[in-house]
Amino acid sequence: MEKKTLYLPHELIILILLKLPVISVIRLKWVCKLWFSLISDSQFASSHFEHAASHTSKLVWLKFPNISSRDFEASFSEASPSRELNFRTASRCPVIKGSCRGFLFLHSWVIIYLWNPCTGFHTEIPTSPFGSKLNSAAMNHLYGFGYDHSRDDYLVVLYIPDFANSSSHLEVFSFRDHKWKEIAGTHGPYFSYSPGGLFFNGAIHWMVERDDDVQLIVAFDLMERELLEIPFPDEFEPSVNLDVWVFGEFLSVWTKKNDTLEIFVMKEYKVHSSWTKTLVFRLPIIYHDLQFSYFIPICLTKSGDIIGEANDCFMRLNAEGQLLEINSDISNTSGSKTVIYTESLLSLPGGDIQQV
């Protein structure tokens, strides 16, 4: 009996592939030349990122000398442990400064890398011709990485405060133009204890302190190419332990005073009156029993739990502040952030960028 070959229209194959997780699509890339060509296409990668049935997001942190990841939706006790991501450079191990659309933003002294762990693509960004002329300690530099949807361009932002002259310098590297550009008319100088910026709603955000000792959020709009200040909520009391993060779908700030954590969210972006105190709770007893020196909220799970970092541990708390799980899987290197990484097939614009 003659076997019949099942034929699937090309359009149907594309629709099926668009619904699969990134890792599954990468495995299918090697089925045949046609699928290899399709999955390697930048337009397919963009469509997959925009229309995937569900994105796979993970916690990524630096566990020297390796970069590790784990699914933050899964229980810490589940069989799938953290996974080491293979990234090596000629220089010392880079620290993590941010993440955007499947790329990790890595920094090693004066060298900046972008890396897509799923595809393996990584590139070294040319050193800025402007920054080396300024007399400013590298530890004071603010970095950021994000995506300008209006130009389909990825941007690296470098902000250098000049405290001696009460001024600042800001420049942007465009992957589409493959060059650095100075941005005039910036504010400042600003100082930040968290130099890796948060990309949200088309802008990069830093928690900073002005030279007049006022603490606030400063954002760089990637489309408008300008800095703007976002004041704290009126009832927000800044402390030593505070930062900006994303709570669900909103820009948010948190502060920890003694053993109490307060979280405010901005319900309407850049509208000051929309700041709302969302959560206030005491940290669990175990936090004090183990003498943790800090607690940093990282992300909110689909079930409403808060994943946070405390010394060398991840903690999972519910909305009342009750400890659900604790995991001592991390040992984050100083200066490196634990970030949320969303898997993607995306590549960078600018064909002349040299892959390393």
Give 101's contacts (C-beta < 8 A, 6+ positions apart).
49, 147, 154, 342, 344, 346
- Domain boundaries in the chain? 9-54
12-27: pLDDT as tens digits:
888 888 988 898 999 9
- pLDDT reported for residue 333: 58
Q: What is the pLDDT of residue 292?
A: 65
Reported as a pLDDT band with limits 50, 70 and 90, residue 356 is: very low
d(CA 20, CA 123): 27
Comparing 69 with 233, the larger pLDDT belongs to: 233
247-306 confidence digits (pLDDT tens): 989 999 999 887 888 999 999 999 999 999 999 888 876 655 566 667 889 999 989 999
User: What value does the mean pLDDT take over residues 208-223?
Assistant: 92
Q: Which residues contact 181 (CB under 8 A, 6 or more apart)?
A: 171, 172, 173, 174
Angle, helices 42-51/10-18, rounded to nearest 10 degrees: 50
Confidence of residue 237 (pLDDT cuts 50, 70, 90): confident
Q: Between vectors from CA 262 to CA 260 and to CA 268, what angle results, nearest 5°? A: 175
Identify the pLDDT of residue 352.
42
The DSSP result for 60-73, as a single string, is EEEETTEEEEEESS
pLDDT at 314: 87
N-to-C CA span, the chain: 53
Is the model's pLDDT at 111 over the cut of 50?
yes
Please compute the mean of the pLDDT values over residues 243-247 and round it to a whole number: 93
Contact of 197 with 180, CB cutoff 8 Å? no
pLDDT confidence tier of residue 57, bands split at 50, 70 and 90: confident
Compute the average pLDDT of residues 117-132: 83
125-164 per-position pLDDT tens digit: 988 887 655 555 566 788 999 999 999 999 999 998 887 7
| Confidence at residue 334, expressed as pLDDT on a 0 to 100 scale | 60
Work out the average pLDDT over 68-83: 73
339 vs 92, residue with greater confidence? 339
pLDDT level of residue 59 (50, 70, 90 thresholds)? confident
Dihedrals phi, psi of 167, to nearest 5 degrees? -140, -170
Q: Which of 74-78, 101-105, 182-186 has the highest mean pLDDT?
A: 101-105
**What pTM does this model have?**
0.88
pLDDT category at 180 given cuts 50, 70, 90 is: very high
Band (98; pLDDT cuts 50, 70, 90): very high
Lowest mean pLDDT among 41-45, 196-200, 325-329: 325-329
CA distance 93 to 329: 19
Least confident of 104-108, 237-241, 306-310: 237-241
108, 336 contact by CB (below 8 A)? no
- pLDDT band (50, 70, 90) for residue 90: low
Q: How confident is the model at residue 86 (pLDDT cuts 50, 70, 90)?
A: low
Q: What is the pLDDT of residue 67?
A: 78
